[in-house]
Amino acid sequence: MVFNDPIHGSMELTPLLVKIIDTPQFQRLRYIKQLGAGYLVYPGASHNRFEHSIGVGSLGYAMTWDMDPFPMLLMQCSSPKATPPPGPGEKMKTWKHEDASVEMFDYLVRSNEDVQRMMKDCGLELPEGLVFIKEMIKPPAAKKKYKGRPKKSFLYEIVANKRSGIDVDKFDYFARDSYHLGIKNNFDMAAS
């Protein structure tokens, strides 16, 4: 399937990724604004997490297409999950984007047998492959070792680069947010 995006142009997605995108969990991203209430000040800033997630996936795939097909899977599943408000007498939980994304990914896979089946058909070993995907969303603490694919540790810097902070998530939101805010963006992803 081909998605046409105002930032990245035509993006061809694999059947597995389309299956994930078609889940209710991924579709809900259409209703979450990328910049929250920013559209109240910048009317063009009404873009959503759905567009951003697919854009990040496209960039990640472009960086890894000849190495490993599964980073793109992760990038398109990386999305925030709302933390419920505290009950009576409870303290507010600290919300971290990466923790919520891992929880949401677990829930998406657990709730959709078709996705699990298709992952296996595509050669992703479960649950080992899922560990790799979750470690790409939320890399282990500095002194802990990777469990997913330690021999390809450079892959962990594509989505959530803890070393330099430069990753495809930021590449997409620099371009997408600037575009929708009407702010000139001098950053060229193709040159990176």
Catalytic residue list contains 97? yes
Identified catalytic residue from 8, 52, 97, 180:
97
Contact predicate 190/62, CB 8 Å: no
Long-range CB pairs of 122-128 (<8 Å, 24+ gap) are: 122/14, 122/16, 122/69, 124/70, 124/73
DSSP 150: G
Short-list 171, 125, 164, 128, CA closest to 147: 128
Q: How far apart are CA 192 and CA 188, in angstroms?
A: 7
| Cis, bond preceding 86 (omega within 30 deg of 0) | no
Q: What residues are annotated to the active site?
A: 97
